[in-house]
DNA sequence: CTGAAAGCGCTTACAG
DNA sequence: CTGAAAGCGCTTACAG
C-alpha cells in the first residue's frame, strides 16, 4: 500500500472529532489535555502513521535543536573520528546534527555556511578548508548571533571560540628529542602556514632548532603537497638533495609514511641515516617499520570540549562568551629516530 | 553589530517599496519581473544580509532537494569513504545530503529514519546496523513512497533497491587460492549471519571448502566480536585450540590484524604455519607484515551506483523501479598465505 | 480541559 | 510586469 498523501494533524483531528489544536497538544503530551483524549489521539496518530512535518514545526515554533558541523573531509580518520564523537555528544544533549563537507574548497565552505544559516541551526562547529585564509564568512555568523566554535584547523580570532591543541609545544618537544639523539640536519615537510596548525607546527620545529642553535635551512623546508603523489614527490626531492637532511619532521603521519617509501626507494636507512617524525598518531604509525614517533591528538577531548563550548553559547546567548580551550597532545616516542 | 531579528522578504519589500511576492520572484530570478526591479531587489537583499528561511521555503514549495544517508558508523574508512563519495555525487546532482549515524544500534536507526521522514527528504540511502534483522521500518518507508537504496549491509528484499558486491564469489575465490597453496585446516572468524555480508562471506568460505572436499569444523567458525578486545580474544581462542587450524579467513581486515597479533604472541609464523586472509583491503593490509591477502571493495562504484539508483527512483516515482546492482570486488593476493 | 485566532516566512497559481 | 489571495502544516498565547 502506497500512502500517497501526507497525513497531517488535521486528518487526525477529523477522525478523532476534535480540533487541530487539541491534536497538537495531545501529541506533545501537553498536561492540560484529558488523559483519555490524549490516549485516543495518540493511538490514532500512531495507527495512521502520522509523522510530524519538521519544517512546519520548526517554522512555527522557532526552535530546531539542530547544530551543523563543517569539515573539509570525512574520509580521514582524524576528521571522521571527531565528527562521529561530536555527533554523539551533541545527540546526547538532544541535538540533531548536520555534518557538511567542504572538500577543502572555500566555495563549498561558504555554501555550507549559507545552507546551515538558512536552516537556522542553533550553532555551528567548523574545521576550515585548506583554501580558507580569513574569517570573513565566519564573522558574519557571529554578527548574526549564531554560536560558533572552531576546532583543529582555524583562523584564530578573539571573536570566535575554539578548541585547539598545543601543537607548537608538542612539536618542539618531539623535534628536540630527535635532535638530542644526534641528528643535526633537520628538515620539515610542512603544512600551509595560513592555517594555525601548519604555522604552529612549523614554529615548534623552529623553536627546537633554536634551542639547539641550529640555523634552519630553507631548502629543507617544503610547504604543502598532501596528495599521495605530491607527498612522495616532496619526500624524494628532499632526500635527493646533495646536501641531505638527516631528520625530517613531517606535518602529518601520511607524509611521514611517504618519506619511508622514498627512503626505501633510495636505500636510506631509518632511523640509522634518517630520523623521521610524524604528527597525528594515525593507525599506520604503529604498523609501519620502524614504528613511527609521532604526536597523539586527544580526539575525544577535542570533540567533548567543542560541543561544550557550543552549548554554552547556545544556552546563554546574551553574554558574548568567547572561550579558547587549548588541549595537550601526547608525544609518542617509537623507533623512527634514535 | 549583532543582527538580532531575522531579515525576511517582507523587510526587503518594505525598503524596496514593492510587494512581498515581487521580492520572492525577484530572488528566484523569475522571468516576469522587470530587469531593473530585479536588480534593485537583489542588491538590497544582499546588502541587508538576507538569507532565505529553509523551513518556510520547503514548507511552502514542497520541494527540498535533500537526501538522507544512514550508516552505522563513520569512523571506519570504508564507511567514511562511501559517505563522502555519496555526498559528493549527490551534491553534484544538486542535492543537499544529511548523513546520520546509527552507532550500530537499531533504536538509533529507527530514530534516524523518523527524523529523515519528518524532514520529508526526497530519498534515503542506508547501510543497516548490526542489530537490524528485519526491514520493518524500511518497508514503511517504501509504503510511503519514499525512494530507498541499500548499500553494503542490508536485509535483501525484492521491494528495496540495493547495491551489493559479489562477496560470496570473491570469498570462495580467495579461500580456494589459500587451500590450493597446501593449507588444509581452514577456520573462519565470521560476521553476523543475520546480515547479508556476514552470510555471503561465510557461504563463500563454505563453497571453497566444499570445492576442496573439506568438511567444515564448527570449532573453527567463530561469529561476531568486532571490538579490538573481542577480536583479539577470538583469535587467541582459535590459535590455542589443541587441534589448531592452519588457515584463517577473516570477515574483515581488522580481524585479520588481530590474528597477526595473536599469532605473534604465540610464536606462530605467518604464512608458514598459518595462512591469513582478510576482507576489505584497508590501508593496514599493505602495511602489516607479511602483507595481507584480502578483497578490495569498489568504493567509488558503490557510491556512484547507489546515488544513481536513488535518483532514478526520485525522478520517476510512479514506476516501482526496484533495481539490484551487484558489483565485482577484486581479489588481492599478497604474502599472508602461501 | 478544549478550541478560535493569529502567525511562522515563503510560494504558487491567478487576476489584472 | 506586479500584486492580492490562498495556502503549506504546525505552534503558541489566549479565552472560555
Helix residue ranges, H only, B62-128? 77-92, 106-118
- The whole-number average pLDDT for the span B34-42 is 85
Residues 34-53 of A with CB under 8 A from B: 49, 51-53
Give the pLDDT band (50/70/90) at residue B1.
Answer: very low
Nearest-neighbour CA in chain A from B54: distance (Å): 5
Smallest Cβ–Cβ distance between A80 and the set B52, B80, B103 belongs to: B80
Q: What is the pLDDT of residues B147-183, one digit of tens each?
A: 999 999 999 999 999 999 999 999 999 999 999 999 9
Whether chain A has a CB inside 8 Å of the CB on B261: the answer is no
Is a pLDDT exceeding 70 seen at residue B230?
A: yes
Note the pLDDT of residue B5. Answer: 58
Residues 6+ apart with CB under 8 A from A314: A67, A122, A123, A147
DSSP string, A185-204: -EEEEE--TTSHHHHHHHHH
The Å distance, CA of B32 to C1' of D2, is 9
DSSP state of A165: E
The residue whose CA lies nearest the C1' of nucleotide D5 is: B21
Contacts for B158 with CB less than 8 Å, ≥ 6 apart: B322
A318 interfaces chain B, CB cutoff of 8 Å: no
A88 touches chain B (CB under 8 A): yes
Distance from CA of A7 to the nearest CA of B (A): 10
B52·A118 Cβ contact <8 A:
yes
| Distance (Å, whole) CA B59 – CA A21 | 19
Integer distance in angstroms from CA A142 to C1' D4? 38
**What count of other Cβ atoms lies within 10 Å of the Cβ of residue B33?**
19
The answer to whether B302 and B165 are in contact (CB under 8 A) is yes
**In chain A, what residues touch B140 (CB-CB under 8 Å)?**
49
Rounded to an integer, what distance in angstroms lies between the CA atom of residue B9 and that of residue B161?
Answer: 41
Please count the CA atoms within 13 angstroms of the CA of B118 that sit on its side-chain side: 17
Question: Nearest by CB to B51, which of A80, A114, A143?
Answer: A114
Flag whether residue B8 sits within 8 Å of chain A, measured between CB atoms.
no
Q: How far is A214 from chain B (nearest CA, A)?
A: 35
> How many CB pairs (< 8 A) connect A and B?
109
Q: Any bridge partners for residue B280, and if so which? A: B296
Nucleotide nearest residue A30, measured CA to C1': C1
One pLDDT digit (tens) per residue for chain A, 338 residues: 444 457 888 888 888 888 888 888 888 888 778 888 888 888 888 888 888 888 888 888 888 899 999 999 999 999 999 999 999 999 999 999 999 999 999 999 999 999 999 999 999 999 999 999 999 999 988 888 899 999 999 999 999 999 999 999 999 999 999 999 999 999 999 999 989 999 999 999 999 999 999 999 999 999 988 898 999 999 999 999 999 999 999 999 999 999 999 999 999 999 999 999 999 999 999 999 999 999 999 999 999 999 999 999 998 876 778 999 999 999 999 999 98
pLDDT tens digit string along A258-284? 999 999 999 999 999 999 999 999 999
Q: Say which residue the cell 603523489 belongs to.
A: A229
Q: Which of A33-47, B130-144, B263-277, B298-312 has the lowest mean pLDDT?
A: A33-47
- Give chain A's mean pLDDT: 92
Cell of B38: 530585479
Over its C-alpha atoms, chain A yields an Rg (Å, rounded) of: 26
User: Quick check: A261 contacting B, CB < 8 Å?
Assistant: no
A73: contact with B, CB 8 A cutoff = yes
- In the stretch 214-243 of chain A, residues with CB closer than 8 A to chain B read none
SS3 B58: helix
Instruction: Say if residue B137's pLDDT is above 90.
Output: yes
Contact A96 B115 (CB under 8 A): yes
Q: Is B159 on the interface with A (CB under 8 A)?
A: no
Nearest residue, CA→C1' of D8: B60
Q: Taking Cα atoms as reference points, which of B98, B93, B129, B96 lies closest to residue B115?
A: B98
From A59's Cα to the closest Cα of chain B, the distance in A is 6
Amino acid at each position: 500500500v502506497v500512502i500517497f498523501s501526507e497525513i497531517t494533524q488535521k486528518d487526525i483531528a477529523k477522525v478523532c472529532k476534535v480540533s487541530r489544536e487539541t491534536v497538537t497538544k495531545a501529541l506533545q503530551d501537553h498536561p492540560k489535555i484529558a488523559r483519555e483524549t490524549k490516549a485516543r489521539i495518540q493511538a490514532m496518530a500512531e495507527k495512521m502513521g502520522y509523522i510530524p512535518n519538521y519544517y512546519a514545526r520548526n517554522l512555527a515554533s522557532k526552535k530546531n535543536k539542530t547544530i551543523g558541523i563543517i569539515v573539509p573531509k570525512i574520509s580521514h580518520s582524524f576528521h571522521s573520528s571527531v565528527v562521529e564523537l561530536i555527533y554523539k555528544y551533541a545527540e546526547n544533549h538532544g541535538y540533531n546534527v548536520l555534518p557538511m563537507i567542504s572538500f577543502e574548497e572555500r566555495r563549498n565552505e561558504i555554501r555550507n555556511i549559507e545552507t546551515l544559516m538558512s536552516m537556522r541551526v542553533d550553532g555551528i562547529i567548523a574545521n576550515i578548508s585548506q583554501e580558507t585564509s580569513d574569517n570573513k564568512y565566519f564573522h558574519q555568523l557571529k554578527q548574526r548571533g549564531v554560536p560558533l566554535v572552531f576546532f583543529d584547523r582555524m583562523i584564530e580570532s578573539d571573536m570566535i571560540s575554539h578548541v585547539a591543541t598545543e601543537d607548537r609545544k608538542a612539536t618542539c618537544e618531539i623535534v628536540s628529542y630527535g635532535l638530542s639523539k644526534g641528528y643535526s640536519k633537520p628538515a620539515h615537510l610542512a603544512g600551509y602556514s595560513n592555517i594555525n596548525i601548519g604555522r604552529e607546527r612549523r614554529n615548534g620545529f623552529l623553536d627546537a632548532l633554536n634551542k639547539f642553535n641550529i640555523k634552519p635551512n630553507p631548502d629543507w623546508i617544503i610547504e604543502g603537497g598532501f596528495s599521495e603523489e605530491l607527498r612522495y614527490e616532496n619526500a624524494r626531492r628532499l632526500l635527493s638533495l646533495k646536501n641531505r637532511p638527516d631528520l625530517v619532521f613531517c606535518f602529518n603521519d601520511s607524509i611521514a609514511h611517504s618519506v619511508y617509501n622514498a627512503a626505501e626507494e633510495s636505500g636510506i636507512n631509518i632511523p640509522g641515516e634518517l630520523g623521521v617524525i610524524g604528527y597525528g598518531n594515525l593507525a599506520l604509525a604503529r604498523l609501519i617499520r620502524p614504528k613511527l614517533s609521532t604526536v597523539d591528538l586527544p580526539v575525544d577531548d577535542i570533540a567533548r570540549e567543542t560541543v561544550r563550548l557550543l552549548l554554552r553559547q547556545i544556552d546563554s546567548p546574551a553574554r558574548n562568551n568567547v572561550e579558547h580551550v587549548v588541549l595537550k597532545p601526547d608525544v609518542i616516542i617509537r623507533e623512527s629516530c634514535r
